[in-house]
Structure 1
Amino acid sequence: MRRLFLRSIALLGCLFATSVFAADGLIAVKSVHSVSATADKLESILNDKGMTVFARIDHAKGAEGVGLDLRPTQLVIFGNPNVGTPLMQCAQSVAIDLPQKALIWEDAEGQVWIGYNDPQYLKERHGIEGCDEVIEKSEGALGAFISGAAK
């Protein structure tokens, strides 16, 4: 029952987003906000849900610092050891992809996107076995966090 609930949350999050695409393990959702406002909203959601926000990196600001141009691009790094540790116990190599990251960027047409690693992709990439419940929980939570920040 809980598994069905979490999948439903992830599906609803995707349906309420204006557009979603997935490619090479990245799930991206259109945001109705600027890059900065989307990242602010995501951080607020993560903090409200008890997640740890480890860092926020402004790649455009970094590029500017060396005299280069880059459209607005920010990365939010976050996690929760209650989720990450069981995944690492199943396949320790997944630690290279944890903590989780959300990339928020503006494309060439001015559309803002927020993307994250698909937990199913991580499962396949690292050969994770015996952690289906944790993977499904991650899918539901990430979907809710990302769709919440995008709208």
Structure 2
Amino acid sequence: MRIIRLLTLVTLIATTSSVFAQGKPDNGLINVQSEHNFARTRSLLQKALDDKGMRTMTRVWHSQSASMIGVDLRSTELFVFGNSKVGSPLMVCEQLIAIDLPQKALVWVDEEDVTWVSYNDPAYLQQRHQVEGCDEYFTKISGALAAISKAATQ
């Protein structure tokens, strides 16, 4: 029985190490694998943002900027977006959450040519800033981000 527990623990550690090696540790990010390539995913993400009434403030195409200085970076683009009807009340609850607003989503390609959409977990932001009394806004944000990432990746 003790050997089985030890083997289970070793397997768990090996699996966890593999996840960390892929750059996807549990650090407050939600990573959603896309069924599409990079170009299609970023196009679908923008459409999903528009459809949800989100304002896209900017898009930062990191890989394109990197190529301008001779750095080879896999396709990576950051979308910065938000909705003042949700973000502003959160800042009233805890003004310092503004450092993490507006919302961001990263479309990126990993070393195995798989495209991902990653974003900050609203629960992580709630905990990070110790926000109390604004649960309904975090629920709205969680639902919206899940729907947007699903629309972009499936």
Contact 1:46-1:145 within 8 A present in 2 as well: yes
8 Å CA contact retained: 1:52, 1:80: yes
Provide, for residues 85-124 of structure 1, a one-character-per-residue CA deviation record: whole Å limited to 9, x for no partner. Answer: 0111111111011000000110001111101000000000
The one-letter amino acid paired with 1:82 is K
Query: In structure 1, what is the equivalent of residue 152 of structure 2?
Result: 149
Partner residue of 2:135? 132
Deviation at 1:36, TM superposition (A): 2.3
Q: Which residue of 1 aligns with 2:101?
A: 98
Return the alpha-carbon distance in structure 2 between the equivalents of residues 56 and 131 of structure 1: 28
Q: 2:35 aligns with which of 9, 32, 35?
A: 32
Q: How far is the alpha carbon of 1:22 from its aligned partner?
A: 6.9
- SS of residue matched to 1:56: strand
Secondary structure, aligned partner of 2:60: strand
Query: Which 5+ residue runs of structure 1 have no aligned equivalent?
Result: 1-20
How many residues end up aligned between the 2 structures?
131
Instruction: Answer with 88-97 or 35-44: which moved more.
Output: 35-44
- Separation in 2 of the partners of 1:26 and 1:110? 20
Per the alignment, residue 54 of structure 1 pairs with 57
- Contact 1:76-1:103 at 8 Å conserved across structures: yes
* Identical residues among aligned pairs (%): 49
SS where residue 23 of structure 1 aligns? coil
Q: Which is higher, the Rg of structure 1 or of structure 2?
A: 2
Q: CA RMSD in A?
A: 1.1
C-alpha distance in structure 2 between counterparts of 1:22 and 1:86, whole Å = 30
Partner SS for 1:33: coil
Q: Which stretches in structure 2 are left out of the alignment for 5+ residues?
A: 1-23
Q: Which has the higher contact order (CA 8 A, sep 6+)?
A: 1
Give the 4+ runs in structure 1 shifted more than 6 A: none
